[in-house]
Structure 1
Amino acid sequence: MEPTSRKFTAAIDQGTTSTRFFIFDERGEPVAKHQEEFDQVYPHAGWVEHEPSVLVKSVENCIEIATSNFIASGHNVKDICALGITNQRETSLVWDIRSGEVLHNAIVWADSRTAHIVRQLKLEGTADKIFLKTGLPLSTYPSAVKVKWILEHSKAARDVYEAGYLAFGTVDTWLLYNLAEGYSGERLHVTDVTNASRTLLFDINTLEYDPFLTKFFGLDKLLLPKVASSSNSRAYGVLSKGPLKGLRITGCLGDQSAAMVGQKAFEQGMAKNTYGTGCFMLYNTGNQPVISKNGLLTTVAFQLENRPPVYALEGSIAVAGSAVKFLRDNLGIIREANEVGELAMSVQDSGGVVFVTAFAGLFAPYWVDDAQGTIFGITNYTKKEHICRATIEATCFQTKAIIDAMEKDSGIAIKNLAVDGGMSNSEECMQLQADIIGIDVDRPAMRETTALGAAIAAGFGVRIWSSFDDLDGVNSRDHRKFSARTTLTQRTRRFRKWERAVAMSKGWLTSEDIDKEYDD
């Protein structure tokens, strides 16, 4: 008999190109959801911004419509026990803490305008020390360099900073500041350990902001959000408005950490790969950080309340799904994103075409800021199908490079890769991935694992679940496994060609090019 009262959990999933809101049942199945895309702002080549008010409004709209659908299906909002938030990481916002006035558009994680700042900072000779503290390289990726750029280019932000009132936050902090309140009605300025670990201001060993780092980046006076565990019964307050006003917020994680939780990669040695706008692989290393010697990041994977943190090695690819969007919107090669897989598999190979999709430099494991997108091997034989295949292969080859680096750092071979995200919906893309890496690719039937991870964290915060064993029945149905159809010799030959293309794409921008482009 159906129980009279059920326990649901909800999740805000604020991503790079869209915002989504989900309500999940006890099995981790979505019973209501809504998605809203929003415009990207591209002021210059390599620059990517979001309007902060649009981020908040998109969340409000998604909550309202999904909740309406939830009620229309016969459910009661009182049965929603908790809310989790997951968000695009590193994207940086600053505002006046006195008024809430935003002082610059959000600078998005993939933005490369800070390349000249990074190049100058590397001359200080402290990159190794920073890496050991944060697990992150000096690059355009993390938040600190983005805020530094804002202070150098916005007089309004600089004035508020000098007065001691400039607040900083990643997207989770900004949403909580605008949509939530503490249990005494106070305004919140808070983040979780996974998001804090992406700022270059946070020591992942002590789980605290580091004075050396804030001073190094010239951000001593910046008001930083309080840091809490990813699952927390008190820190994130309650929703302050909308149809779910008063709902407890008990989970908060950066999107890739949330996907790891949603994939239930709780044990040391488990790995997941999320194919979104970018592509991000995390490898669980347990309760101690492992500092990479092979071009990977070290990050806080998640932390449940009153428990030690769990760490991960991470490989980040700047361009994945956004390359498909590029084929559709910029080149007009396809009309719909889902066409790319079918076109790619309609040819036996890429016809010699290799596409290094370095639209914003190359991330892990290469970390090359002066690379740009480059297509090699175009001949009279080349058709759009070959370019489509080379576009997908670019993500798959970078994934292989990351797997190789993870195996070197950990000393353990990865035998199975759990996948999720937009590109994982394509059978063709996932078969190509298995063919290139030579290991099984495991795809769950319900692939909204980022939102699910935030909901799971929230569920731990209100004791819906108390142990990982309690999650055995969550998102466990109808997994699909893709196995390689290639030989080791074929995989090795293809990958060597990719590596040659990467080497040839480096150094495209000179120091003079970078300075001129970003000073104009």
Structure 2
Amino acid sequence: MTNCVASIDAGTTSVRCMIFDETAKVLASHQLEFAQYFIHPGWHEQDAHEIVEKCYQCIERAVADLGKLDGGKWNVKVIGITNQRETTVVWDKDTGLALTRAIAWPDTRTAHTVRELAKKSPKGTDAVKAETGLPLSTYFAAVKLRWMLDNLPEVKKAHDEGRLRFGTIDSWLLYNFTGATAGPDGGVHVTDSSNASRTMFMDLRKQTWDQALCDFFGVRIDVLPRIASSSEVYGQMRGGPLDGVAIGGILGDQMAALVGNKCFAAGEAKNTYGTGAFLLYNTGTHVVNSANGLLSTIAYKAGPNAPVHYALEGSIAVAGSAIKWVRDSLGLIKDASEIGPLAAQVEDAGGVYFVTAFSGLFCPYWDDSAAGTVVGLTSYTDRRHFCRATIEATCYQTEAILDAMAKDSGIHLKALQVDGGMTNSDEAMQIQADILGIAIERPEMRESTALGSAIMAGSAIGLFGWNVNEPHTLDKVNRAGKQRFEPRISAQKRRAGKKGWERAVQRSRGWNVNEDEDDGGKENASATGAARVGEKAAM
């Protein structure tokens, strides 16, 4: 039998199981979408139990396909997990059932909660940034949990009685995979340091939960999972065709993509273009505090005794989801793959700028009151210009993040590593190179998120000789077929485009301000509460 490694990649809209060999060749893969619930403006929910069920289904199909390959010689030796970050799950430890739907990371219902928390400190939205590297924002998990406690009585009751368990999607999956089905306390309640760094409960430098932070958010510290490294054996899979296989690596999806792109040295960076877009810049073993609107975060900790590696991050809330919106809501295209060729039919967007602030603006603007805005429309505009403006929206926001990173680090990138769905478009990557004025490097195997967690899992047991703390052991991984896109437009045209984008951003800001704001949606909160438990119990 020949060994291989599996990765469970639980993204924002779908889950998949991918199985890799030692060079990162994909041996088998299966992907399934899961339901998204948008029951009020700005709300984005998911069924945590459905995510687990779809993961098991993907594992079953991928392993079945693997068994048909090369006479069934392949043997899955270890499993990695990577996940959408910040999405918040709460469950009852006595039943193992989620108490409500998960609140997904783009959800903005907590804008009122953010403002109330900011009032508690003279630092405002920077109240906990020194400890966590994060500003108060609708983005992060602690604010979502605070909203649940304020608005969902069953969550508060479980919290006050000591029955509540909190986790991001990695913790929820690990809890279920390692035995929650065998009993309410059967599962392992663990997260890794990369995901913990996105909760706002963890001290970034100590890599431990901080009692003062928990007190600030009014959350019991015992509801939180144990913090482990990103590369160690946490337990064994229970159930399904991988029953008994070790689970040995956990990383938040964007940190996994950094590892999958092998950005192990300080000064290396990648951008992942998925539902949102996330640019991470490796800062080595030291925290770099951003003065320009970026996040300081943990990139990975490759073993219990390994040093922590940090990163600066810039997050774009809406990237690939804008293309989906153009397809599904506007009907300008029938398939996402059409947008690049249409955009390439025109030299520019004809003066149109589309600020895709559907969930406000993240780095480096941090404006949850910003709204989606289109400016520059004329009778000359057609769908090709709008398609190009949609792609450019992500590219210009990437430029704003890179500018901020250069100011914080003093280093200007010469090339950017990229992965994710949007990178399948040559046209989009050429537009990105033109807007940035630097080279874009795209690997042939672009599933860097799944690969990153697979690398961490393999490293945990020394599979293939992989050792993330000695990156040369990964020299053979994902080397084939890298493409490079060089900028083609003049510096003058680049500057003019940037100036137009900045003007458009200013027009989008401060739109969603409600002077008669209610108490953060309490009258609607029951829609996500106890009724969800009843729905699950009836299934």
Question: How far apart, in 2, do the equivalents of 1:269 and 1:469 lie?
Answer: 17
Aligned residue in 1 for 2:91: 95
Structural mapping, 1:116-515, within 5 Å: 116-125=112-121, 126=123, 127-181=125-179, 186-220=186-220, 223-233=223-233, 236-305=234-303, 306-464=305-463, 465-466=466-467, 467-512=470-515, 514-515=517-518
Aligned residue for 1:338, secondary structure, equals helix
- Deviation at residue 129 of structure 1 after TM alignment: 4.5
Q: Which stretch of the first structure deviates more once superposed, 186-195 or 391-400? A: 186-195
- Deviation at residue 518 of structure 1 after TM alignment: 3.6
- Deviation at residue 409 of structure 1 after TM alignment: 0.3
Per-residue CA deviation, residues 93-116 of structure 1 (Å, 9 max, x unaligned), is 001111112111000000000011
Aligned residue for 2:171, secondary structure, equals helix
In the alignment, which of 49, 53, 56 is matched to residue 57 of structure 1?
A: 53
Aligned residue for 2:2, secondary structure, equals coil
Per-residue CA deviation, residues 119-146 of structure 1 (Å, 9 max, x unaligned), is 1211222443510110111000000010
- Deviation at residue 153 of structure 1 after TM alignment: 1.4
Count of residue pairs the alignment pairs up? 513
Question: How far apart, in 1, do the equivalents of 2:517 and 2:275 lie?
Answer: 24
Aligned residue for 2:220, secondary structure, equals coil
Aligned residue in 2 for 1:43: 39
| 8 Å CA contact retained: 1:270, 1:284 | yes
- Deviation at residue 513 of structure 1 after TM alignment: 5.9
Paired residue type of 2:274: G
Q: Is 1:9 the equivalent of 2:5?
A: yes
Q: Is 1:30 the equivalent of 2:26?
A: yes
CA pair 75-13 structure 1, distance change in 2 beyond 3 A = farther
Question: How far apart, in 1, do the equivalents of 2:52 and 2:274 lie?
Answer: 21
| 8 Å CA contact retained: 1:161, 1:221 | no
TM-score by length of 1: 0.96
Question: How far apart, in 2, do the equivalents of 1:202 and 1:364 lie?
Answer: 21
CA pair 516-386 structure 1, distance change in 2 beyond 3 A = farther
TM-score by length of 2: 0.93
Question: How far apart, in 2, do the equivalents of 1:139 and 1:514 lie?
Answer: 18
Question: How far apart, in 2, do the equivalents of 1:327 and 1:518 lie?
Answer: 29
State the Cα RMSD in Å: 1.6
CA pair 265-273 structure 1, distance change in 2 beyond 3 A = same
| 8 Å CA contact retained: 2:118, 2:127 | no
Percent identity (aligned) = 51
CA pair 77-289 structure 1, distance change in 2 beyond 3 A = farther
Q: Which stretch of the first structure deviates more once superposed, 266-275 or 209-218? A: 209-218
Paired residue type of 1:433: Q
Q: Which stretch of the first structure deviates more once superposed, 80-89 or 460-469? A: 460-469
- Deviation at residue 516 of structure 1 after TM alignment: 7.6
- Deviation at residue 181 of structure 1 after TM alignment: 4.2
- Deviation at residue 503 of structure 1 after TM alignment: 0.9
| 8 Å CA contact retained: 2:285, 2:307 | yes
Aligned residue for 1:370, secondary structure, equals coil
Per-residue CA deviation, residues 401-443 of structure 1 (Å, 9 max, x unaligned), is 0000000000011111000000001000000000000000000
- Deviation at residue 275 of structure 1 after TM alignment: 0.1
| 8 Å CA contact retained: 2:2, 2:74 | no
Aligned residue for 2:336, secondary structure, equals coil
Per-residue CA deviation, residues 234-270 of structure 1 (Å, 9 max, x unaligned), is xx20101100100101100000000000000000000
| 8 Å CA contact retained: 1:168, 1:222 | no
Question: How far apart, in 2, do the equivalents of 1:415 and 1:244 lie?
Answer: 43
CA pair 428-516 structure 1, distance change in 2 beyond 3 A = farther
Aligned residue in 2 for 1:69: 65
Aligned residue for 2:279, secondary structure, equals strand
